[in-house]
Chain A
Amino acid sequence: MKKERIVFAVMLLVFFCIAIFYAVQYGGAAGRAPLIVAIPSLLLTIYTLIVEIRKKDLVEDKTKNKAEDDQESELSASEVKRRERTIILWILCLSFLIYLIGFVLAIPIFFLLILRIWGKEPWRLVITQSVISAAVIYLFFVSLLHVNLYEGYLIRTFG
């Protein structure tokens, strides 16, 4: 946990450094407000980094929801990491599917895959939810509201 906190603080440090670098390039009125914000933020991040490095490992942040801590502490750190990676991959998979085949097809396919593989839900529920989601998206968003949903790279290119 300590290592991740330090990595996160370093990433913030880089973010503020980049913000300052570009604010200096902009100059004048365009650079004024970003500089006013980024310089103190950078100093605070340096302070945070020092605190995180000095902090003893396993000291949990007081702001974290206690009940959540209790549940998460039941899981090993490696299990938490594995679950994090899995769900983030599913989110990326959904985004990629939307990009590739558009909303109307991507969301039912995503439900079919995630509910069966990740959720290990029974086929009946998987198929029902996929069909309902396709119907809701098509009838409500496309037919009723006329929202111009993205149709996907494949359909745009070859459709």
Chain B
Amino acid sequence: MLFEAFIQGLLSVFSLPSFLYMLAAILFGLMIGFIPGLGGGFALAMLIPFTFAMDPGPALAFLLGGHAVVATGGSISAILFNSPGAGLNAATLLDGYPMTQRGEAGRALGAALTSSAMGGLFGAFVLALMVPVIRPVVLVFAPPEFFMLAMLGICFIALMGDGVLYKGLIAGGIGLLMSYVGYENSSGIIRYAFGQLYLHEGISLIPAVIGLFAIAEMISLAVKGGSIAQKGTDTSAKKGVLEGVKDVFRHWGLFLRSSALGTLIGIIPGLGGDAAAFLVYGQAVQTSKDKESFGKGNVKGVIAPEAANNAKEGGSLVPTLGFGVPGSSSMAIVLGALMMIGLTPGPEMLTTNVDIVFQLVWTIAIANIIGAAVALAFAGTLAKLTFLRSTILVPTVLAFSLLGAFATHNSMGDIVLAVVTGLLGYYMKNYGYSRAVLILGLVLGHIAEKNLNLSLRLFGSDFFMRPISLILLILIVVLLASPTIKYWLKRRKGGITS
């Protein structure tokens, strides 16, 4: 019966109205992804009104087809202009943009798009496999495990900084404190808002990332002149794109690890795609032999977060369909859309409507392949934009960055935030404070605090003794001790004399 549903799902995707709707939605999703500030939630919100007159099958192909490729489009603007399309592309720019500056935009795009497509396939494949065994996996994670996962991410703060360690920690501190702005969940106290209504909801990630990276980078470019890609670098973008595609296969172990982690984080409701990308990026740094090259244009720093971003999509459908518990804000919109077209997510979805579940699986897989193929076809041309002179590029990126920042919540406050973080980012870059670590603190601070308070309330002070929490805790200790242990071992072997 499962196999029949599997085939039925595939046929539904290729049936004529569904496939055409999906193609249109893919183009739209890529475009929305490319524009900073809009993101997957926006794409879904724009697509939903068109589904009112559709049958359930085409409507689902249309919605998920568009949503599945948003992260793919977002990686293009992150790599080329240091301005991520969505929060989940923020980790990609850490190495993608330095590659662009070296004239390797084509290679970075090739790696990102291939990794995205294959990550999406991986996530869809896992979703298909998970259909019979969803329940126990999701129930194993509770606030203590979320807290430990966030702590694991925060530990990367100390170890992945691209500057001196103490400046990295200070940047992390700024990011964490920024994440505490606004309502505190357990007490309802408004913190660090200074009477500003805009700050009551906290500091938004997208305007902050646009400021710290895109605006700061444009100030730098305006000061130094020239173009993003340095003079004398290789301009054969097409050759670079192919090289990037090959890079994913060269680092297939990293790709598989990142996709698996991304899917797992997607399955767990509450962590979100932004955290997934950074956690997986941190994993790529820690498991790499050339740690110091990350943040300076290492292609592995592009492959890992991009694989995780799209793999997460399949994963986040697991709790959405299996329990009716959305794994992210975008999935909450998908949940609403499913109900709107007469489908009730929950255990019965996995029994009576299993063919629709498989249609969703196939939609994600096929949309990712088509999305990446379309984007790859234009990658070479897009890469040439990085050779535009600064007098044209700077005003354009600045204007559309502020537009993107505004579009996040339709708020003028987001423009102020983007400008302020832009200035902060420029001086942080100049004085050696890692902006990436600040963003990681901003993403994980709120998750860590919320789950710490919940864990203390639900499980008491020994909450970390739960089996998975304990394993994560041991992992954190090993991670923190690893530099000292490595140093000590080198010293014993005589590698370090003093």
Contacts and interface: CB of A to CB of B under 8 A. Distances in A.
A78 interface: no
Give chain A's interface secondary structure class: helix
B226 A34 contact: no
B415 A41 contact: no
B407 A147 contact: yes
24 contacts: A19-B192, A26-B184, A30-B189, A33-B449, A34-B180, A37-B176, A37-B177, A37-B445, A48-B166, A48-B170, A61-B164, A64-B432, A65-B296, A67-B101, A75-B224, A91-B215, A91-B398, A115-B395, A129-B396, A137-B403, A146-B46, A148-B410, A150-B406, A150-B412
B173 A37 contact: yes
B164 A63 contact: yes
A41 B174 contact: yes
A91 B432 contact: no
B406 A61 contact: no
A115 B389 CA distance: 12
Interface string A7-26: 01000100110010011001
Contacts of A86: 222
B174 A15 contact: yes
B221 to A, nearest CB: 9
A17 B180 CA distance: 15
Given A4-B427, A15-B177, A84-B219, 11 more contacts: A16-B177, A22-B192, A23-B191, A28-B187, A29-B187, A34-B191, A44-B169, A61-B431, A99-B415, A147-B410, A148-B410
A68 interface: yes
A123 interface: no
Interface residues of A, number: 67
Contacts of A87: 218-219, 222-223, 394
Given A19-B192, A44-B166, A83 B223 contact: yes
Ordered nearest first, which 4 A-B pairs have the shortest CB separation?
A41-B173, A119-B391, A61-B432, A87-B222
Contacts of B180: 33-34, 37
Contact of A80 (B223, B422, B431): B223
Contact of A95 (B192, B218, B402): B402
Contacts of B220: 68
A98 B416 CA distance: 11
Interface string B220-240: 101111100010000000000
A67 B230 contact: yes
Contacts of B226: 71
Contacts of A30: 184, 186-187, 189, 191
Contacts of B166: 44, 47-48
A103 B403 CA distance: 8
B443 to A, nearest CB: 14
Interface string A113-145: 011001111000100010001000100010001
B222 A83 contact: yes
B219 A88 contact: yes
A149 to B, nearest CB: 7
A145 B276 CA distance: 29
Interface in A50-65: 61-65
A95 B399 CA distance: 9
Contacts of B186: 29-30
A85 B461 CA distance: 52
A67 B98 CA distance: 11
A63 B432 CA distance: 6
Contact of A26 (B173, B189, B225, B448): B189
A103 B101 contact: no
A94 interface: yes
Contacts of B415: 95, 98-99
A155 B479 CA distance: 56
Interface string B424-437: 00110111101000
A114 B396 CA distance: 10
Contacts of A64: 429-430, 432
A38 interface: yes
